Structure 1
Amino acid sequence: MGTHWTADDIPDQQGRVAVVTGANTGLGFETAKVLAGRGATVVLAVRDVDKGERAAARMAGAVAVQQLDLTSLDSVRTAAAQLRRAHPQIDLLINNAGVMYTPRQSTVDGFERQFGTNHLGHFALTGLLLDLLLPVPGSRVVTVSSTGHRIRAAIHFDDLQWERSYSRAGAYGQSKLANLMFTYELQRRLAAHGPPTLAAAAHPGVSNTELVRNSPALVRAPMDRLAPLVTQSAAMGALPTLRAATDPSVLGGQYYGPGGRREVRGYPRLVTSSPESYDLAVQQRLWAVSEDLTGVTFGV
């Protein structure tokens, strides 16, 4: 392995099954394409099946499409049941899909959209599929967070759904902090259960994707102009996720991001998250609340 970890360092993925949420575009597309190119059977778990089919057609290898709408727990349960029938085991579950800076909207189940999509939908999906990963050597759950987890770095238990007041950035930050806290608590439970499954997290730095499409125009316009100067490609942004998912040296509970200044861009390396993200009591409280809201409990 050279100084910089790249997609060329990914071991052969023949015989492995990888489920990637939000894989029809951006980071998810790049992640899925590389895994398929390394021999994995890849499932693109996407809300829009037509877009998923078009994305699959641009990939080489064994690629399938699974409908999944993370804003609906019914859809999550249906998708999990269909995945269970199609795949008796899963090696990689990559919780990549996300929304950012949306207006105040609710999911089908009444959750604030960013928290409901980015955290609760993935929490439920993981819980419903976890037993397919637990017996598999080298299996991993990788959840994609963001440097945005430091925005108002707190889980607002007194108003989780932002019903009293709403901040696009604050709600996004809470959802991405929840992604990390979920990863850390899941890893603690997996470690107690015993090998082989581990949980890890990653973030893409500032990557040039469609994620900012919901930002206000006053924010989006300057971001579009500055993008070539301050962002990296989606292919580079996917490398931390790919490393967390495939590097044999990865340990449970680790967090990977770009190695450049302020973790904005660069080749993937081990990074640390905010002090708040490591609060054990808050992690466990968030877990209990997430089980209650989704009705999904874990076998670990």
Structure 2
Amino acid sequence: MSKKWTRTDIPDQRGRVAVVTGANTGLGYETAKALAERGASVVLAVRDVEKGEQAAARMTGDVSVQALDLSSLDSVRTAAAALRSRLDRIDLLINNAGVMYTPRQTTRDGFEMQFGTNHLGHFALTGLLLDLMLPVPGSRVVTVSSTGHRIRAAIHFDDLQWERSYSRVGAYGQSKLANLMFTYELQRRLAPHGTTVAVAAHPGMSSTELARNTPAALRLPLTWLAPLITQTPAMGALPTLRAATDPAAFGGQYYGPGGRNEIKGHPRLVTSSPQSYEVTTQQQLWTASEDLTNIKYPTDEPSLHV
């Protein structure tokens, strides 16, 4: 394997089934495209089906589209049911879709938009699809976080939905910290099964549509600095692809760009913030997420142990 991990290091994916959320543009598109090129059967799980079809048409290989709006638990349940009816297994679930720095708004279920979409939507989707993965050796749940999990980030259990006051940066940080805590707690619950693992990744600073809601005070400086501090979506997708396909990866790991401050560069193992490893907080978040989504995971059911 090359010293700098690239798309050419992705092993043959023929016979594997991958579901990638938010795959019609940006990081998700590049992730899905690379997996399809290596032979995987890829499902683009997207909010806008027309854009998803257009994205699929630009890819080579076995690519299909599934409607999924992570800001609606009804849509998540409908999408999961549709996937369960058409797939008999899932090897890779890539929880990539997300929103960033949105103005104060809520999902259809009344959750703060960033927490509801980035974390709760993926928590629900994973729980509804996990029994298609547990029997599959080598299957992986890869959840995309961000360096934003370090910025003004905490899990505000006394106000998870930011109803008392709102910070778009703080809410984004909470959602991305939740992505990591979900990954670590999920891995702990998956470990006894011995087949499926949970891994996390982040893209560094990548030039995508995700930053369209960046506050005005930051937008101009970032525009000037962009050529120096950002990388292409294809490069930004590499940590996710390595987390998903590197035979040496194992559960509970976190991949990001290998350059200075993890801003850009080829993917390598990285570490997340100290608070992201707090087991008590991870478990508290898990319980809150189950209660909010009314989703119970199959990982504790003896009948599903393999």
**Superposition TM-score tier, normalisation by shorter sequence:** over 0.9
CA distance in 1, matches of 2:33, 2:100: 23
TM-score under structure 2 normalisation? 0.97
Give 5+ residue unaligned stretches, structure 2: 300-306
Residue correspondence of structure 1 range 267-278 to structure 2 within 5 A: 267-278=266-277
Structure 1 position 218, deviation (Å): 3.1
SS of equivalent residue, structure 1 residue 13 = coil
Q: Note the alpha carbon deviations across 1:19-66, whole angstroms, 9 max, x for none.
A: 000000000000000000000000000000011011001100000000
Structure-2 residue corresponding to 1:135:
135
Residue correspondence of structure 1 range 126-275 to structure 2 within 5 A: 126-192=126-192, 194-275=193-274
Residue correspondence of structure 1 range 5-24 to structure 2 within 5 A: 5-24=5-24
Matched AA of 1:167? S
SS of equivalent residue, structure 2 residue 169 = helix
CA distance in 2, matches of 1:241, 1:83: 22
**Count of aligned pairs between the two proteins:** 299
SS of equivalent residue, structure 2 residue 224 = helix
Structure-2 residue corresponding to 1:281:
280
Q: Note the alpha carbon deviations across 1:86-134, whole angstroms, 9 max, x for none.
A: 1010000000000000000000000000000000000000000000000
CA distance in 1, matches of 2:105, 2:218: 19
CA distance in 2, matches of 1:272, 1:183: 13
Q: Note the alpha carbon deviations across 1:149-186, whole angstroms, 9 max, x for none.
A: 01123100011000000001000000000000000000
- Whether contact under 8 Å (2:153, 2:171) holds in the other structure is no
Structure 1 position 215, deviation (Å): 1.6
SS of equivalent residue, structure 1 residue 211 = helix
Structure-2 residue corresponding to 1:78:
78
- Whether contact under 8 Å (1:91, 1:140) holds in the other structure is yes
SS of equivalent residue, structure 2 residue 178 = helix
SS of equivalent residue, structure 2 residue 44 = strand
CA distance in 1, matches of 2:296, 2:212: 33
SS of equivalent residue, structure 1 residue 250 = coil
Matched AA of 1:249? A
Give 5+ residue unaligned stretches, structure 1: none
Structure-1 residue corresponding to 2:26:
26
Structure 1 position 226, deviation (Å): 1.7
Structure 1 position 227, deviation (Å): 1.1
Structure 1 position 228, deviation (Å): 1.1
- Whether contact under 8 Å (1:153, 1:276) holds in the other structure is no
Matched AA of 1:222? P
Structure 1 position 260, deviation (Å): 0.5
Structure 1 position 221, deviation (Å): 2.8
Q: Taking every aligned residue pair, what percent have the same amino acid on both sides?
A: 77
CA distance in 2, matches of 1:152, 1:185: 22
CA distance in 2, matches of 1:228, 1:24: 24
SS of equivalent residue, structure 1 residue 23 = coil
SS of equivalent residue, structure 2 residue 85 = helix
- Whether contact under 8 Å (1:14, 1:40) holds in the other structure is yes
Range with bigger deviation, 209-218 or 105-114:
209-218
Range with bigger deviation, 225-234 or 53-62:
225-234
Q: Note the alpha carbon deviations across 1:212-258, whole angstroms, 9 max, x for none.
A: 11122332233223211110110000000000000000010000000
Structure 1 position 273, deviation (Å): 0.2
RMSD: 0.7
CA distance in 1, matches of 2:224, 2:42: 34
TM-score under structure 1 normalisation? 0.99
